[in-house]
A and B are shown apart, each in its own frame.
Chain A
């Protein structure tokens, strides 16, 4: 490649285009798969784009009791998620920004985005907002330590919490990267992902039923541009979580050389993997019912157990050998 500065910049722009542009489509695929599995036709694939476009053209409406927190929260939450995108290796290694942040920062950014929205939900003063943020923060408080443990489980063989370093080790090892500790870490991550992104056994993103909603209860007060930012951010948070899973669990296909052809191929592969992951979650969502809220703790306990078990096994048979 020509410039040492130009290529990473281009890759970074490419990553943002990929994640921001494609995540509504991926969400639509997920909804479509879920609908088809349940015998419905489902919304058209461009529906999330249309929704976003419609909301973008409208101003927000705020309650008279709301303060500046309500106004700025969607933007802050969206910005935190934006900052998390380059922390995940999408299709080129090393990651374009290099060692500018690791997965612990990613956990922090996701936590910030969650916290700001919960704060805004309290700010409006509505009952639902308080209920939703209480539930969300309870889940978040349980999920974050588990997330860190899962990251350590993935990172300990590579000796790093940089997603780029972990994925680079996976690409270099090839198929030998797959071992029992990795399998355990993947299971733990998938359980965590369902909680972190609020998918079905934990929270139903398609419902506005008072008793069960978690995330929806928090954003009930929002409309217009603010809602667009929140929904878009939610869509690509899902893409980030899946992208991280792909990079950590099955990094094969991420391009390590700079030639344009290989990078193009890597983009195709990562889009295919993302699509596959969304289809899988769509099918899962069609099959399971929402759990009682307090069973979420069971799910996260199991995730923690798997992550810890992964570390224990890595100590015996994995990384060291």
Chain B
């Protein structure tokens, strides 16, 4: 019998994979962002479960950080970008939904085929998550390259980020290094989002003064 938290870990990782696939289906940016928030919550859950099961208290910090940044702050910011700056709400894509879904499946099969035989050698119970994590990274990458809008591309990058997190959590149980890397990755993404935010503001209003946004109300 596998211990219960490890099983819950598997399920949470599967939720991450499911949401990665579902994100390929969406045609509206808001729905995509919502799906990303759910996925991040599942990633935070895996971090919390690993922290509990393998007594790695610094991972609680990572879980908390993931909730604060990836579940609350970033989706909020993205929704704001879409709403305030009037980015058209449809997701423009180079591949249709059906093609995307099938390519997503192909990416899972690829990672199962390539990573699956390696995973058992890691000799840790949660190594079975590795194919899922790699698949999520690949799907995020596909989302990144197959969508036209900058905001959607950011979501693709964030999905990749979640996949990397998942792999790191599953394999290393959160070394201090991972926490730092996670922080750095989050900051990077935050910076990109802020950049788009400012760039669009500049294009739309010819300035980046946030106070002036209030003048547009009413």
Contacts and interface: CB of A to CB of B under 8 A. Distances in A.
Interface of A: 175-176, 178-181, 183-184, 187, 295, 297-298, 301-302, 305-306, 308-309, 312-313, 315-317, 321
B10 interface: yes
Given A180-B13, A187-B18, A316-B116, A302 B1 contact: no
Interface string B1-16: 1101001001101110
B101 interface: yes
B120 to A, nearest CB: 9
A123 B10 CA distance: 52
B181 interface: no
Contacts of A180: 10-11, 13-14, 17, 132
B112 A315 contact: yes
B2 A184 contact: no
B156 interface: no
A313 B131 contact: yes
Contacts of A297: 98
B102 A305 contact: yes
A306 B7 CA distance: 20
Given A312-B109, A313-B112, A302 B13 contact: no
Given A175-B7, A309-B105, A184 B14 contact: yes
Contact of A305 (B2, B104, B112): B104
Contact of B1 (A176, A184, A313): A176
Contacts of B197: none
A304 to B, nearest CB: 8
Contacts of A317: 10, 128, 131
A106 B105 CA distance: 27
Contacts of B101: 298, 301-302, 305
A211 B22 CA distance: 28
A307 to B, nearest CB: 10
A183 B7 contact: no
A183 B131 contact: no
Interface string B97-134: 11001101100110010001001000000001001100
Interface in B1-43: 1-2, 4, 7, 10-11, 13-15, 17-18, 21-22, 25
Contacts of A184: 14, 17-18
Interface in B80-111: 97-98, 101-102, 104-105, 108-109
B22 to A, nearest CB: 8
7 contacts: A181-B14, A183-B15, A297-B98, A305-B21, A309-B105, A312-B108, A316-B112
B128 A309 contact: no
Contacts of A306: 18, 21
A309 B7 contact: no
A309 B15 CA distance: 13
Nearest to B2: A176
B8 to A, nearest CB: 9
Contacts of B119: 316
A185 B132 CA distance: 15
Given A175-B4, A313-B131, A317-B10, 4 more contacts: A176-B2, A187-B18, A301-B97, A302-B22
Contact of B112 (A176, A179, A187, A312): A312
Contacts of B15: 183
Contacts of A305: 21, 101-102, 104-105
A179 B25 contact: no
A181 B10 CA distance: 10
Contacts of B116: 315-316
B111 to A, nearest CB: 9
Contacts of A321: 128
Contacts of B128: 316-317, 321
B131 A178 contact: no
A180 to B, nearest CB: 3
Contact of A179 (B10, B17, B104): B10
B33 to A, nearest CB: 18
A52 B131 CA distance: 52
Contacts of B1: 176
Nearest to B14: A180
B65 to A, nearest CB: 25
Closest 5 CB pairs of A and B: A180-B14, A317-B128, A305-B105, A183-B14, A316-B116
B110 to A, nearest CB: 10
Nearest to A179: B10
B108 A302 contact: no
